[in-house]
Chain A
Amino acid sequence: MKSILTDRQLAITIERLSHQLIENHLDFSNTVIVGLQPRGIFLSDRIYRNLQQLLPGTDIPYGKVDITFYRDDYKSNKGLQVPNETDIDFSIDNKRVILIDDVLYTGRTIRSAMDALLDFGRPAAVELLVLIDRRFSRELPIQPDYTGRTIDAIITERVKVLWKERDGKDEVVLIA
């Protein structure tokens, strides 16, 4: 098991990603944030909190989307997925949507997430923010707009993002 980001590096990376979002979206007057269930929401929670501190008084709509019903492996995947909560209580029509997930790998999850998102309206634009981009592993033509760290990992390796809220500590590790 190899450490990719320590807790301190993770905090700095999330801080940097938050600033990059502000650089592009300024006052967030037409932007909404959507985290991906189940593990992307730990990252989106932190970014949301960061943005609130950096932009006091700004009310940024923040939702969560679950992709279970949109997966392309319902019949082939081993073990059934138990769905998580989807909570988007605002309109995304003509809004700029920032999708947030922890690890970008094959791109299939993001494909499903975009399908799910479009059931809530027609956004002006959709951007993708990920903490870890496993490049060279893509099965669909999907690329992130904001990346925490790009890594090259072979297919048998697994990237795991640990969160204090759930796993007891903040760290990103590569499991061989």
Chain B
Amino acid sequence: MSLSVKHLLGIRDLTRQDIELIFQTADQFKEVLQRPIKKVPTLRDTTIVNVFFENSTRTRISFELAEKRLGADVVNFSASGSSVSKGETLIDTVNNILSMKVDMVVMRHSATGAPHFLAKHINVPIVNAGDGINEHPTQALLDAFSIRERLGGVEGKKIAICGDIMHSRVALSNIYCLKKLGAEVTVVGPPTLIPKHIGAALGVNVSYNIRETLEWADVANVLRIQLERQNMPLFSSLREYSLAYGVNRKLLDSLKKDIVIMHPGPINRGVELSSDVADSGQSIILDQVENGVATRMAVLYLLGRNE
């Protein structure tokens, strides 16, 4: 058994079998992370470089922990303070790193398609840790893995993805992943933040009413409003957004059932999600973070052989 792909560039390229193999492997890494010694020597002859052209807390720490717990050697690179500011191109930067005998690249970049471009020019496995507004595959994997853990499966479950769908690579990867696993997906948010033809293009339901959608859903994955990617005003104010689309205790209490709340982080507390909801028993936000390490270990383990 192995993955059908050499790189993890996006969930779009994966088969359902690939995703299930990743989950099956992640189950065992999750057990490793509960042990007194949370480390295995599997990748002890592998060196991995984390190339981050964009800021990150969770993803970067999570990847670094996953690599270290697999016994790999880890090199970190961030664009600030590097020769990128002197004008070095992406491919030169990465080729220079690779000539120092690096076996795998984990990359985040603000440009959509940057890891795909790199995959055409270098021959080591690349893991996309987020590219522009395209995909963030490991986030989608850990999200679906967390749903599977909490609800016992993903197939047939009703998942609402709430908020800034337009600018969110988490949304796109989640939609691909959940659809491949047989879930029903509804995207909900203000019309200005939902791409026009997304329903037909990706096979999801579109809604502009958060209450109706949460009434329908088993799980709400609440996304962050990505102010840094919005170059024109798409809603009048954060306060208005929060009043119309914010998920808060009052809204959840008015539903007939308890739904599961997720958020990929970082949370804008009081904007898309209120604090009392984020920190409640319905929220699996910290489980998502915990599962991120096991899921990423599985991805690195499955790609690391580079046959």
Contacts and interface: CB of A to CB of B under 8 A. Distances in A.
B101 to A, nearest CB: 14
B24 A69 contact: no
A121 B305 contact: no
Interface string A63-75: 0001011110011
B42 A85 contact: no
A83 B28 contact: yes
Given A83-B25, A83-B28, A75 B41 contact: no
A29 interface: no
B28 A84 contact: yes
A155 interface: no
Nearest to B304: A74
Listed residue (B45, B301, B302) with the most chain A CB atoms within 10 angstroms of its CB: B301
A120 B1 CA distance: 28
B37 interface: yes
B218 to A, nearest CB: 27
Contacts of A69: 28, 32, 40-42, 70, 301
Nearest to A66: B28
A167 interface: no
Contacts, number: 50
Contacts of B42: 69-71, 74
A79 B35 contact: no
B209 to A, nearest CB: 43
Contact of B31 (A71, A80, A86): A86
Interface residues of A, number: 19
A115 B71 CA distance: 14
Interface residues of B, number: 23
B41 A70 contact: yes
Contacts of B32: 69, 86
Nearest to B301: A69
Contacts of B24: 82-83
B2 interface: yes
Nearest to B103: A75
B36 interface: yes
A138 B274 CA distance: 63
Nearest to B37: A119
B39 interface: yes
B28 A115 contact: no
B306 to A, nearest CB: 8
B28 A74 contact: no
Contacts of B31: 85-87
Interface in A34-93: 66, 68-71, 74-75, 79-80, 82-87
Contact of B39 (A74, A80, A85, A119): A119
Contacts of B37: 119-120
A74 B2 CA distance: 12
A82 B36 contact: no
B36 A68 contact: no
B252 interface: no
Given A80-B1, A85-B31, A70 B45 contact: no
26 contacts: A68-B28, A69-B41, A69-B301, A70-B40, A70-B41, A70-B42, A74-B43, A75-B305, A79-B2, A80-B1, A80-B2, A80-B302, A82-B21, A83-B25, A83-B28, A84-B28, A85-B28, A86-B28, A86-B32, A87-B31, A119-B35, A119-B36, A119-B39, A119-B40, A120-B36, A120-B37
The 8 closest A-B pairs by CB, nearest first: A69-B40, A83-B28, A119-B37, A80-B2, A69-B42, A82-B1, A86-B31, A80-B1
Interface of A: 66, 68-71, 74-75, 79-80, 82-87, 115, 119-121
Given A75-B305, A86-B28, 17 more contacts: A66-B28, A69-B40, A69-B301, A70-B42, A71-B42, A79-B2, A80-B302, A80-B305, A83-B24, A83-B28, A84-B28, A85-B28, A85-B31, A86-B31, A86-B32, A87-B31, A119-B36
